[in-house]
Structure formats: structure tokens, C-alpha cells
Amino acid sequence: MTSTSLKQRVLAAERLFGTMILEFFVPGLPQLCKAAGADFLFLDMEHTGVDMETLKYQIAACRGIGLAPIVRVPATEYHFIARVLDLGAHGVMVPIVETREQAEFIVSCTRYPPRGRRGAAFGVAHDDYKAGTPAEKIAAAHERTLVITQIETPKGVENCEAIASIPEVDVLWVGHFDLTNFMGIPGQFENPAYLAAIARVVAAARAQRKGTGFMALDERWGREYIAHGFQMIAYGMDSNLFQRALAQGIANLRNA
């Protein structure tokens, strides 16, 4: 485990950057992202068919290079949250979090008793197969594990202050496409109602000294949402970045 975890950096209000992986779960990907300057890597289960074995290889490839692997699980279920943490993920992102009670359950899946219900497995991937007492390992896991709740519905916005008030919730992450969809204004990112919603989420996080996150599909969006107060930015997703770079290169060559 690194001396300064991603969780510590988030809660210190450091500005952090990474990307979202949905397609290219290949051996060299973590090192490529680290060499590009990424602080974290989101490995997505919600919108992909990736399995636990593939995730384990990706997480292992992040070990020791200063890149924090975070898994977006597909649902608020113990068997997803606890398993990816046991594989060595430094944290979880959970979609469509709408209530304090739901957020409290998510947190309970990431914490060992008496703070939660996470089952014990030590000397495995999450503690780097190292020796140590259970108490030491539990403390280290609690210190590192980052909990990201995605605010993606009007109900989630309505309850964002209560969600942010839970001590072990670390980041409120706006899922902008889903939020506009559930608001009945799909893709209307300049709509005053949407802008008011993201301002409320940012304010709720700041009031509790929590992190804020957003996935920016391009640099313009990234700058815009940093200006809105978001500190943790996932710059695009792998397929989009590759396709855009390839299309630009081909177009430049065709016009040469």
C-alpha cells in the first residue's frame, strides 16, 4: 500500500485525474495510463461484461506503480462490493445512490465489524499478500478504501446532503447522462434545472469536506466542470479516446 492513498488525496481536496475503462482490459493498460499522468483508473462493471478474473489481472497490474484502481460495480450488492475490494481495488463507485440508507449499506459492505459487515480474508490480494495482524490489516483497509456514490437521479439530488453527511462516504459523483435522463431532459447539460442540481451536489459535498467527481468526455468539459467545483475528473473513456484520436489522425492524413 502506498504511503498516501487516493482516499487521503481526495479528502485533502487535491485535484485528481484518471480515466474510465470499458473495453480495453489489456495487460499494459494500467502502465499506459500511469505514464500518461493518471492518478486513478476506473474499471467498469456496470456497462460491460468484464468478469472478476479479468478485474483481478487489471488491479494486480496497478500494484506498485502509484495508480489507484477503482471498480464501478453494477449494483448496490454486497457480493459485488466486497469481492472487488478483496481483489485489491482501492475503492468502489456505486451507481444510482438515492438515499442515506442505501449509502449506509454500501459503506457497511466496505468496512469490517463492528463498523460494517465485510467478511474477513487476509494474506490475499487486497493486503498485497503480506504478513500482519488482522487488526493492522483492518485499519489499513479502512484507511485506503474510497467510497464513491453516484448521484444520478432527482431523488439522489434531493438526498445528497444526507448522503454526504455519512462519514465513510468520500465522494459524490454526478452521473450527468443518467441525471438528465431521469430529469426528463436527456442531454440538456445547459438546462438551468440540471445546472442547479449539480451546484447542489457540489455544495453538499463541500459542506461535509467530501470529494466531487465527474467524467468529462473532452478537455472543454473538463475545464468547465473544474470551474463548477469538481475536483476528481475522469477524462473520457478508453473507446472514446482511442476512436477520437484515430479519427483525427486519419482525417489529417486524408487531407495531407
Predicted TM-score of the model (pTM): 0.95
C-alpha distances out from residue 42 to 37, 98, 149, Å:
14, 21, 14
**What is residue 44's predicted lDDT score, i.e. its pLDDT?**
98
**What is residue 3's predicted lDDT score, i.e. its pLDDT?**
67
Angle between helices 78-86 and 52-62 (to 10 degrees): 40
* Mean pLDDT of successive 10-residue stretches along the chain, which has 256 residues: 81 97 96 97 96 97 96 97 98 98 98 96 92 94 97 98 98 98 97 98 98 96 97 96 96 93
Which fold does the domain 6-151+215-254 belong to in CATH? TIM Barrel (3.20.20)
Candidate list 47, 126, 142, 228, residue with the active-site label? 47
**What is residue 1's predicted lDDT score, i.e. its pLDDT?**
41
**What are the residue boundaries of the structural domains of the chain, listed by start?**
6-151+215-254
The verdict on whether 126 is a catalytic residue reads: no
